Structure 1
Amino acid sequence: MLRGVFVTGTDTGVGKTVVSAALCLAWGAAYWKPLQTGAVDGDDDTAAVTHLAALSPEQVFAPGRVYGEPAAPERAATLEGTEVRISSLTPPQTSAPLVVEGAGGLLVPINADETMADLMAALGLPAVVVARSTLGTINHTLLTLEALRSRGLPLLGVVMSGPPSAPNREAIERHGGVRVLAEFPRLDEVTPAEVARLAGLLPDLKVTA
């Protein structure tokens, strides 16, 4: 059985890759992004996490599929005349905890009838939800938590990204019944040193499936 976490977000561009790198560094974890889109624009989250967390080759696993279009996997695959099924995405074998980074948010479609939530369920890993810290995040985060719970998916906690906001953190923890694991400030420059600093903000958690 896999052990680790599935990193999802309340939106695209919310900071999942930086959080994934920090988790890998904090927990000595391996990294896998099953579905990478946006290759035509140079998007390569696997390379980014490898660099930011100084991962060894044994800690990095190639994406299951890579698509050129910066779009949801269903759309990106359709543009290339293909379709991906969750059953075709074989999780890597590793003795280390595994950080799996999703594409976009929880309900992003993978194909006509499967979403990121279905992939999370298939892997059996608890979610770490990356959420913005700014105005609007309470609603977005609580909706994501509700979607997780309505599907019976396990939840480890939330990482907030952006300027610290004590009121938003308190509201998310109270109304969402969830632990905010850390608040990551916005970085002027994303470097290995900065990611190492962020990793130090994460609690020492037992990572289990």
Structure 2
Amino acid sequence: MDTSKNILLKSLFIAGTDTDVGKTYITAGLAVVLRKMGVDVGVMKPFAAGDAQKKGYKSEDVEILSSAAQTCDPENLVNPQFFLIPASPYTAWKKLKIKPKVSTVLSSFKKLSKLHKVILVEGMGGIMTPILKDYYITNLIKEMKIPTVIVTRSKIGTVNHTVMTVKMCEKYKIPIKGIIINDFESGYPIKDLTRDLQNLTGIKVLGSIPFIQDMSDASLNQIFKKNIDLKLLLK
């Protein structure tokens, strides 16, 4: 049964409060859930960095996302730019002399948007990761004209990072769909953290995702349907 007709969601930018907060796995899980609901979902990671894979997409993150969405879109659309050092696009530019191509990223996003009903765009690092001088992830989201989901973690310090991330989204007038907590390390009790984040930011916590060992379709679909408020996300 195709339930996609009832879904109003267009595209989402999955942003993080920091690096290594689990954006890729949250994006992958959302891609699986949407696909299982009958939605034609595409994925994108505008900028990726690190060691290149020998097979498939250069970026392991892009490989994970494409597998979750079961897409085989061209690499130059899904990941327009890849840097061979683990750094922000700005730092990679200065070190490798390769300038980040924002216009290419935006045109790739438009092309992908014509190929799929929904595009899940995974960010890089935190929301103020620099791409160019005075141009950050926030600027990119703003130019894409899509809302964001903020991925945060459960460890101590996350309240500070999450509040700052929300404040920057507000400054750039970026709509926030909600917050997802990645509960894969010791820290705050999730109930307390959910209460505090909602009270402090006024943004709904969509749910929390436990550490995932089984990355199969069935596992991701079950975990995300159980732990994420999909109705609120898809409004």
2:27 is matched with 20
1:196 is matched with 221
Q: Is 1:169 the equivalent of 2:169?
A: no
Residues 162 and 206 (structure 1 numbering): CA distance in 2 closer, same or farther, change over 3 Å? closer
The aligned amino acid for 1:165 is: I
Rg (Cα) greater in structure: 2
Residues 111 and 161 (structure 1 numbering): CA distance in 2 closer, same or farther, change over 3 Å? same
CA contact (8 A) 2:31 2:69 kept: no
1:86 is matched with 102
The whole-number CA distance in structure 2 between the counterparts of 1:59 and 1:94 is 11
2:203 is matched with 178
The whole-number CA distance in structure 2 between the counterparts of 1:105 and 1:75 is 14
The aligned amino acid for 2:86 is: P
- Taking the TM superposition and a 5 Å limit, the aligned residue runs for 1:72-151 are 72-89=88-105, 90=107, 91=109, 92=112, 93-151=114-172
Cα distance, 1:205 vs structure 2: 4.6
**What RMSD, in angstroms, separates the aligned Cα atoms of the two structures?**
2.3
The whole-number CA distance in structure 2 between the counterparts of 1:78 and 1:189 is 39
Residues 54 and 144 (structure 1 numbering): CA distance in 2 closer, same or farther, change over 3 Å? closer
**Length-normalised TM-score, structure 2:** 0.79
CA contact (8 A) 2:11 2:120 kept: yes
Cα distance, 1:150 vs structure 2: 1.2
Number of aligned residue pairs: give it. 206
Q: Which runs of 5+ in 1 are unaligned?
A: none
The aligned amino acid for 1:31 is: V
Match of 2:132, SS state, is coil
Cα distance, 1:43 vs structure 2: 4.3
Please list every run of at least 4 consecutive aligned residues from structure 1 whose deviation after the TM superposition is greater than 6 angstroms.
Answer: none
- Report which of the two has the higher share of helix: 2
CA contact (8 A) 1:31 1:59 kept: no
CA contact (8 A) 1:37 1:67 kept: yes
Stretch deviating more after TM superposition (37-46 or 94-103): 37-46
Cα distance, 1:206 vs structure 2: 6.2
Residues 137 and 189 (structure 1 numbering): CA distance in 2 closer, same or farther, change over 3 Å? same
Cα distance, 1:59 vs structure 2: 10
Cα distance, 1:54 vs structure 2: 5.1
The aligned amino acid for 1:63 is: N
